[in-house]
Amino acid sequence: MTTAPGHTTDPPDRSDPSHPSHPSHPSHPSYPVVRFEGVGLTYPGPPPVQALRPCDLTVERGEYVTVVGPSGSGKSTFLNVAGLIDAPTAGRYLLDGIDTGSLPDRDRTALRGQRIGFVFQSFHLLPHRSALENVLLAMVYNGIPRGQRAGRARTALERVGLGHRSGHLPTRMSGGERQRVAIARALVSEPSLLLCDEPTGNLDTATAGAVLALLDELHADGLTLLVITHDPHVAERGRRTVSIRDGILSEVVRA
């Protein structure tokens, strides 16, 4: 970039932690956590499949937004885009004000690990590792110093009510307890966004209610939640709901 005749300026170094687009740069409270600007995803053919049609979406810091739709509606595609697993083929996705499309793959991966906590329907815990070890392992690739990991893992388990079960294996836990471990694992890196995919899908009604109550508590503590579900009762727990059908996002107007 030329600044004056005979003088040039090097392009910004995104490997510098002080640069706003660096994954470890602190989030700015004035930026939305999630902003889609005409974001869409088309899988190449033949024939091409428009799995997520270009859409706009803003999730402000501290919001609890649910995304509801039937099977085959585009929920998984939305999850993959919001979770930085797949890059959109149209539009711009800003996470914490960072234009994710401008980042190389390595920085996108780092951004995902540091800014997004995932909770899945099937828990995805290592069966032969304790609850504490499962949470600890989430920090190995996130740049969290080794000396901080054990304390942070215990704090996360206590936050979800499982401090007394930290030494137990997932195989010795109920479904609700396993999901709480998964939530603790998602929280331990202090993400900007908790992204949940059918978090109660494998749980009975009573246990699901307890997990949803925990999500309510986390939201009350200021966490930003984006919960994807097919269940309208789960969708009602959000303060806002967006529906998805045939790859089209639309805001649900509540009475």
Residue 93: partners with Cβ closer than 8 Å, 6 or more residues away: 34, 35, 36, 37, 39, 81, 82, 99, 100, 101
**Residue 158 pLDDT > 60:** yes
Label residue 9 by pLDDT band (50, 70, 90).
very low
Question: Which of 244, 243, 237 minimizes the C-alpha distance to 215?
Answer: 237
pLDDT of residue 130: 97
CA pair distance 134, 131, nearest whole angstrom: 5
For the segment 172-211, what is each residue's pLDDT rounded down to a tens digit? 999 999 999 999 999 999 999 999 999 999 999 999 999 9
- In the chain, the percentage of residues whose pLDDT exceeds 90 is 83
Bin 213: left if φ > 0, else alpha if -120 < ψ < 50, else beta. Answer: alpha
Residue type, 159: R
pLDDT of residue 140: 86
Higher pLDDT: 143 or 177? It is 177
pTM above 0.95, yes or no: no
For the segment 77-130, what is each residue's pLDDT rounded down to a tens digit? 999 999 999 999 999 999 999 999 999 999 999 999 999 999 999 999 999 999
pLDDT of residue 46: 86
pLDDT of residue 45: 80
Higher pLDDT: 152 or 29? It is 152
Question: Which of 223, 190, 154, 218 minimizes the C-alpha distance to 24?
Answer: 190
Residue 227, φ and ψ in degrees, nearest 5: -115, 125
Higher pLDDT: 77 or 14? It is 77
**Residue 165 pLDDT > 50:** yes
CA pair distance 63, 49, nearest whole angstrom: 31
pLDDT of residue 141: 78
Question: How much is the average pLDDT of 8-27?
Answer: 48
pLDDT of residue 3: 37
**Residue 236 pLDDT > 70:** yes
**Residue 24 pLDDT > 60:** no
